[in-house]
A and B are shown apart, each in its own frame.
Chain A
Amino acid sequence: MKFLTDRKRATGLGSGGTGADHHWLTIATSLSLVILVPLLIFTFGYAVGHSYEEVLAFYSSPCIAIISALCLVGGIIHLKTEVDEAVEDYVGGIKRKLTLIAVAGFCYALMATGLFALLKLAIQ
């Protein structure tokens, strides 16, 4: 250990022990929102209010299906970092750990459900 410099021991690690990964993920996904948010608003906003047949036809288009899946996964990854940050700010101790796990469970359940629905709409 003696041979490691302070700089070497600190590189990539913050007080949380995981470095700047979470911050970097937030920066990267924040930039992705500039593309995903308009795509999501205009595809989903267009589909809502149309008839059942029209919606089936809309989501069976490969382009719309891929865009929607991308918005769903990318958007939820970003929103998960957002909620994680809020939990880390306001909840402490064992409650924090359990809340973070619950948030992850909720986000991944949303992703799985949304992807299943999109897949079924795309190929049926």
Chain B
Amino acid sequence: MADVNRGNRPLSPFMIGPYYRPQMTSISSIMVRITGIASLGSVFLAICWLLAAASSETAFDFFNGIYGSFIGNILMLAAAWALWYHMLGRLRHVIWDFGYCLDVKTSEKMGWGMFIGATVLTVLTALVFLIF
């Protein structure tokens, strides 16, 4: 029998839900991928705005009006959070790839650091734009 260990193997994070307990390490890593893919959407929206600015004032006013509105600003802050989070999360992957901080405790701390760090950086971003 090649498969005597059936049922007693570690579960994959793909089974998240009733079978796999969410952990800081897995959730923070999954969020890196989600924020990465979402950021490509943000880049698409940013390029729409750039192309509108390069095309005509009417087109620019349309996109600038949406992005500059209150809801637009909230969405831009959400996009900024995703970018900051992705940057910090990828930095953690680089640290791991270089062979450092591979133990569970430090990895979990870095996961908290990513969530808290991204939030702090987003608040600072909002403050910078409010002041200047």
Q: A42-B125, A44-B46, A86-B36 are in contact. List 8 more A-B contacts (CB 8 A).
A: A33-B90, A37-B83, A46-B129, A48-B68, A48-B72, A52-B61, A110-B43, A110-B47
B3 at the interface (CB under 8 A from A): no
Q: For the complex, what is the distance from the CA of A120 to the CA of B43, rounded to whole Å?
A: 18
Q: Which residue of B lies closest to A119 (CB)?
A: B54
The interface size of chain A toward B, counting residues with CB under 8 Å, comes to 40
Would you give the shortest CB distance from B26 to chain A, in whole angstroms?
Answer: 14
B68: chain A residues at CB < 8 Å are: 48-49
Give A contacts to B, CB under 8 Å: 23, 26-27, 30-31, 33-34, 37, 40-42, 44-46, 48-50, 52, 55-56, 59, 72, 75-76, 78-79, 82-83, 85-86, 107, 110, 113-114, 116-118, 120-121, 124
Q: In the complex, how many residue pairs between chain A and chain B have their CB atoms under 8 Å apart?
A: 106
Question: Can you list 27 residue pairs at the A/B interface with Cβ under 8 Å?
Answer: A30-B91, A30-B94, A31-B94, A33-B90, A34-B91, A37-B87, A41-B84, A48-B64, A48-B67, A49-B68, A50-B64, A55-B53, A59-B53, A72-B47, A78-B90, A83-B37, A86-B36, A110-B40, A113-B51, A114-B46, A114-B47, A116-B54, A117-B47, A117-B51, A117-B54, A121-B50, A121-B53
